[in-house]
Structure 1
Amino acid sequence: TVRGAVEDERRTSLMRTHSGLHVLCGVVFRDFGALVTGGNMEPLTARMDFNLEAVPPGFKEAVEDACNAELRLDRQIVVRTLPRAEAFEIPDIIRTATNLVPEDVKDVRIVDIVGLDQQADGGTHVASTSQVGRISVVKIENKGKGFRRIRLAIGS
């Protein structure tokens, strides 16, 4: 017999953070055309790496402002599963520089922040962008030629 319990506060924080990373990914892809090369998250803090050659002046503020504008739009977050062939017909469904969906996966889980970001993803999410809270871009780091790291925090 196994007995378990979900730590609701931790799970909710991770859901907010993960959804916030999708907003960040959507904004950076839309505004700068950059794909994700890596990332990591903890409750209410995270980093995401992008294949971005140069960081224009005002980049940090522009990304933070654009992310928070998207959060305020209260975009619905829809999760669905599609057969692999159908999922891969969707333009830009893979927002990472490398396709991480194993070949043997027959059904692909799609997370859609309606009107901003749609991609293959297996994580937990909140129901709408307004539930994320506020995104603060804490730091932009140069991680080598063409690679930029964005560190963020999620607040109320």
Structure 2
Amino acid sequence: MRYFLLCGVTLLLAACSSTPDQAPPPTSRNQAFDGFYQQWRGVPYRMGGNSRAGLDCSAFTQLAYQQVFGLSLPRTTTSQANLGQPITRSQLRHGDLVFFKTGWNQYHVGVYTGAGEFIHASTSKGVIRSRLDNVYWRKHYWQARRMDPILLMVQQSAYGS
């Protein structure tokens, strides 16, 4: 059944490949993420948390994508890192997810907001804005992903999310 669903969605995507991009204009996307950041700025980090009492990095990105795009992301950083389209640092644009490998089996995620900055739930400072060229983040940078709504739907149905 999943095979047929995947084939059907693939055909649909091929048929719609000439339609214009439906993503919000960059300025509204920028404003939406900036507004989201202002609402959550300073909220403390709490592993497994997903509320104003405290939240972790993947809950922060999950909530951001839900509020800004109306998209459902998986709950964990590693699950989020397996979705979307991989992109290079030079391709980053407002709203892309940036991932960091911070330990042997530890990962961190944030939302790129342009001008070399990203927003995230820091373990030491809570929800903050940081620079990608910061010594720590530059050293631990792992990958970036663009979350296209149609691609997310296909990937999540294929993975059973």
Normalization by structure 2: what TM-score?
A: 0.26
Greater helix share, structure number: 2
Normalization by structure 1: what TM-score?
A: 0.27
Structure with the larger RCO, 1 or 2 (CA within 8 Å, 6+ apart) = 1
